[in-house]
Structure 1
Amino acid sequence: MGRQAEANAVVPLAPRDGVAPSYLWLPDGRWDGMLAFLVERFPDVDAEAWRARMARGDVVDGAGKPLGPGSPVRRGARIWYYRELAFETPIPFEVEILYRDEHLLVVDKPHFLPVIPSGRFLHQSALVRLKKSTGLAHLTPIHRLDRETAGVLIFSHNPASRGVYQSLFQKREIGKVYEALAAPLAGVSLPHVRRSRMVEGTPFFRMREVEGEPNSETLIEAIEARGEAVLYRLRPHTGRQHQLRVHMSALGAPIINDAFYPLALPCKGDDFTRPLQLLARSIGFTDPLTGQPRFFESARRLGGA
């Protein structure tokens, strides 16, 4: 199925409490029914939990027909289900709405809050919180922002115009400005342009620089001294995962409270008193529908949560 056809496919389960249903395509293999497959595929969810979901009709095929423990596993079929978590760590910071029209919702995201459900977060995500508070069923983020990063984040809630706004990011027609607190850069004249080739590293969630043609670029400027640190203005020309964090670390000034760079620290849970000192300060662009300039700026300030 092509991407457009898949996007237009009918979803047999309605969103529940702000959470859209998840789906997966069934692989080739031999299992003694759907329950055996799901237990193997999701080892953190026990059989009784899946039995309970099936009994409620929360696991269905592409036509919306409820699946039971003994339902056959047919390669290439798609099943739908609701993702559930036994426990989520509450994120004690709020998303602030900066702007809303018939196409876009622009918000000021706090540190620690993921943009979309992932891993150990479901309801504690910006997307689910905003779906609940606004009632916008078609809400979708049109760019990325790390969970650890705060600042301006743009959502689309109109499927008809979503593509034209997403294309702005794809064509790099968006002006993005970040701020970061880090140590003074020794031996580096500012402003400075950092270019490097970034690839996936180890562990899987980290990126690293390697030799080769650059695929990432950041303009780094100093704004002011903040005690023993410096407040930097960062202008990414590209949008690689963790690009700003990798570039600052590679220059010898990792962003304050970065638990991934230069070394991945052991996960001890979130310390809400020590947010990553990285902020998506502003986003500007020419609106593709009206031709008017748009500019959105965070009200947050680095140095606290």
Structure 2
Amino acid sequence: MRKRPPSIDGLGASTLQLPPGAWPTVLDCLCERFPAVARLQWLERMARGRVVDSNGRWLTPETPYRVGLEVHYYREASDEPPIPFHEVVLHADADLLVADKPHFLPVTPAGAHVHETLLGRLIRRTGNHSLVPLHRIDRDTAGLVLFSGNPQSRACYQALFRERRIEKGYEAIAPALPNVEFPCIRSSRMVAGEPFFRMQEIEGPANSKTRIDVVARYDGYWRYALTPITGCKHQLRVHMAALGAPIANDGMYPTLFHRAAGDYSAPLQLLAKRLAFIDPLRGVERRFFSDFLLQT
């Protein structure tokens, strides 16, 4: 069985199976397929062995184009700025790593964030190229993320999420809801909205459910405990906004707000605070709590 190329500096390779076309070289195909990447950048990547085939052989500017050829390449971002916040490793053994992620740091590469990700930082920090996130939280959200560190035991931990044998607890700061009786359950049908990266509620059978309670009351804003019973994208943010209490500093719900690059003011007041489960390998109860604090 063919193996994927190893990660480099914490970044795994992306894969493209060359489509039908009349390009003379692989380079020509890549340049047309990815117009945002300059030809010179592809040439530089090839010169450094960052574009390879399924056998790990370096592809060169002269490599002839062939339909179906698997091309593995490493994404790069020029002048990627560092994100000035740091993660904390709360637990690490041969099978499991638990990290406490700060706001603004993505879990995995996305968009302009290539090396400045939680996954990349942890691989560089531990030297373990087998690390894989077992779940995700938004870049805007701070808090706990679990990683598998061993492919042999990964399925055991993945089953915790698939079979809902893991307790997840969040905290949020949002406007007061004095006319709502707590605790309450918000259930709704959520689907992709506009733009494509936002979610919306529509009529129909519910596919999302959140338990909401109040932890503390402040002047105008309350601290809420949010327990996702299901795991839809942006579920907590959508449900709080739908109740009339959008999470403080939410730039996506109920309305979209563009944050300038490098603007780290006013982080979203949502925190993945707690994770609890029975370790499937050791049979012991695991409880982890984020040390990050929301702004009140």
Please give the TM-score of this superposition, normalised by the length of structure 1: 0.93
Pick which of 283-292 and 29-38 moved more: 29-38
Deviates more, 1:283-292 or 1:20-29: 20-29
* 1:109 and 2:101 matched: yes
CA distance in 1, matches of 2:224, 2:127: 37
Q: What is the deviation of 1:94?
A: 0.5
* Contact 1:20/1:82 (<8 A) preserved: yes
Secondary structure of 2:120 counterpart: helix
2:279 — aligned with what? 287
Equivalent runs, 1:1-305 vs 2, <5 Å: 9-11=2-4, 13-303=5-295
**Cα distance in structure 2, aligned partners of 1:217 and 1:235:** 9
Contact 1:25 1:76 in 2 (8 A): yes
Equivalent residue number for residue 3 of structure 1: none
3-state secondary structure, aligned to 1:160? coil
Q: 2:101 and 2:140 mapped to 1: Cα distance?
A: 10
Q: How many residues align?
A: 296
In structure 1, distance between residues paired with 2:166 and 2:74? 35
Say what the alpha-carbon RMSD is for the aligned residues.
1.5
**Aligned to 2:153, what secondary structure does the other structure show?**
helix
The percent of aligned pairs where both chains have the same amino acid is 49
In the alignment, structure 1 segments of 5+ residues that lack a partner are: 1-7
Q: Could you state the TM-score of these two structures normalised by the residue count of structure 2?
A: 0.96
CA distance in 2, matches of 1:74, 1:187: 65
1:186–1:252 CA contact under 8 A, matched in 2: no
Are the structure 2 counterparts of residues 209 and 73 from structure 1 closer, same or farther at C-alpha, using a change threshold of 3 Å?
farther
Aligned match of 1:4: none
C-alpha distance in structure 2 between counterparts of 1:267 and 1:273, whole Å: 9
CA deviation digits over 1:168-211, x for unaligned, max 9? 10111110000000001253211110001111111111111111
* Matched-pair contact (CA < 8 Å) for 2:2–2:54: no
In structure 2, distance between residues paired with 1:189 and 1:36 = 62
Q: What's the CA shift for 1:42?
A: 1.5
* 1: CA distance, partners of 2:252 / 2:145: 22
Structure 1 runs of 4+ aligned residues shifted over 4 Å read: none
1:114 corresponds to which letter in structure 2?
P
Return the offset for 1:55: 2.5
Q: For 2:231, what is the secondary structure of its paired residue?
A: coil
Equivalent-residue separation in structure 1 for 2:145 and 2:7 (angstroms)? 22
AA partner of residue 2 (structure 2): A
Paired residues of 2:26 and 2:66 also in contact (CA < 8 A) = no
What is the deviation of 1:105?
0.5
Gap regions ≥5 residues in structure 2: none
